[in-house]
Structure 1
Amino acid sequence: MQQQYEVPLKMKQTSRWKLSLVIQDIKRDRWLYLLLIPGILYFLLFKYVPMWGLVMAFQDYKPHLGFIDSPWVGMKHFARFFTEPQFWNLFRNTLLLAVYNLVFFFPLPIILALMLNEVRKEMFKRFVQTFLYLPHFVSWVVAVGIFYVLLTTEGGIVNEIIAKMGMERVPFLLSEDWFRTMILSQSIWKEAGWGMIIFLAALSGVDVQQYEAARMDGAGRWRQLWHITLPAIRSTIVILFILRLGSFLDTGFEHIFLMLNSMNREVGEVFDTYVYVKGLTQAQYSYSAAVGLFKSLVGLVLVLGANWLAKKTGEEGVY
């Protein structure tokens, strides 16, 4: 009988001891925990609380009735979306822009970081780094305005040069053929330098002695790059690639919306602009919520699949 009582007593003492350790840690690091509060509040207020609005996708939502009293319609809005004549055009436009960003935009920050890592003059390196990431702080309104001034047929610098060369002016801003090229080039100009910083930070953690040992063994720059540099940042590349897939269909509403006009809408209309038109301009809240939920679910499936594949190949993944 005494042994039966001793086991629960030891468990209670162990749990109390662990609890006291946790309390001591919290007291010791209380200021660090206080620094977490703004971040926690941000995610609670702007990420988790708005998820309650997803119930609209399964309701015929009426603002005066609210979430509780609005009638439930199940999968009605999803069925309507998948049978819309515009669905396949929207899906094609969004998918093409997403694939272009993944194929051409994602590798560019890695290439820039690798090139800049080979520069030995610190002053020049810092100047190039600043020059490349500075456009990140320019808003999309300003960025699109700059391209408009450069490419417009009415006095645009590029078209003026083309005209001086005796060729016909090119309507870049109105052409369906040039739309995706302009979107991709603007994204690269604005964000490639900012993404480069992450990879430069990863490269700064590579042990310099590995390069010295490789040079002593007769390895050139390319062999050092292939056998030391790339393996050192491989985990960073995999994690960022997985996170990128989470926003695979997120082509950027503001950017696309500013570039859209009546002449290129056929190739420029994507899920983000479609949600804006249906949800805010036409007040179809439940239908636009269903479209947004579909896009988010696609991103979730891609993240889970990519993370599973990364773990199968020996990488850590994001969880």
Structure 2
Amino acid sequence: MIGIMGAGAFGTALGIALAKAGTPVTLWTRSEIHAEDMGKLRRNRAYLPDAPFPEPLSVTSDIDALADSKVVLVAVPLQHLRSALIPHDLPDAPIVACCKGIELSSGLGPTGVVEEVLPGAITAILTGPSFAADIAIGRPTALTLACRDATIGKALQDRLTTPTLRLYRTTDTIGAELGGALKNVIAIACGTVIGAGLGDSARAATMTRGFAEMQRIGASFGAHTDTLAGLSGLGDLALTCTSDLSRNYRLGLSLGRSEVFDPTITVEGAATAGAMFEIGKARGLDLPITETVTRLLDGSTTVVDAIETLMTRPLKEE
């Protein structure tokens, strides 16, 4: 059995995909009302109303129901990951983080948070270019599974791959985590560019220079170049910077249009920008796009001033 903590869009979509392949899945939500509603309707009407649950998928609000899980996928927003894990006694099974970002309070990525809360746990991260709705309805999707232990990573890859969900494995958890986190910051920047009416050429430039920032950060942390150039980096960047389905991109659109964004929507890139801006300063990294996004979000600059600042930076080689 595979256990999934978190019945948001992504956790639910993964549960549906795995159950369609015949794997018994237990989907846990902290809300008893939410669990009862999903169990009765056999779908998650709050997030994926058009994706019915396969028979092997069960829903619960009892954390003890995950006790027999061979793998536990944790699909909660990164800023809530620590608080979601602390109260619960999870089974002695690999913990696969299915979230993206950098924790504001610690500067850690998902596996780092898990390892602080659950010392000795076997950890991995599942990340890459994906929208929950695509996974839930069976559209072909490829993701990166990163686990420092190559043998366990291979076993997880075999267990979690389905006919419509193809996983590529790596031992570079740092690179996979950074790619998944940083692309959200660049997506906010790209949304701002389009929202401000600057056009597709400016967005392409922002994506490209944003990817250069991702590579500089990755090198500082010891990430592998090929990881950032893969699904969890460049692949996720391409998806998130070009689709209205991305919450980070939509936040950027709102910034560019000087519109108010719905504060109830979780946008991991907003927290990641602030965290990485501080980390970058401490490491002496040149991160103009990350800095610009941070200042746009905290109100210390305007879109007009940000454009002027970026366009008047000293000329240099690419």
TM-score bracket for the superposition, by shorter chain length:
under 0.3
Bigger helix fraction: 1
TM-score (norm 2): 0.22
Q: TM-score, normalised by structure 1?
A: 0.22
Task: Determine which structure has greater relative contact order: mean sequence separation of CA pairs < 8 Å that are 6+ residues apart, divided by chain length.
Answer: 1
- If you compute each CA radius of gyration, which structure gives the higher value, 1 or 2? 1
Normalized per residue, which structure has more strand?
Answer: 2
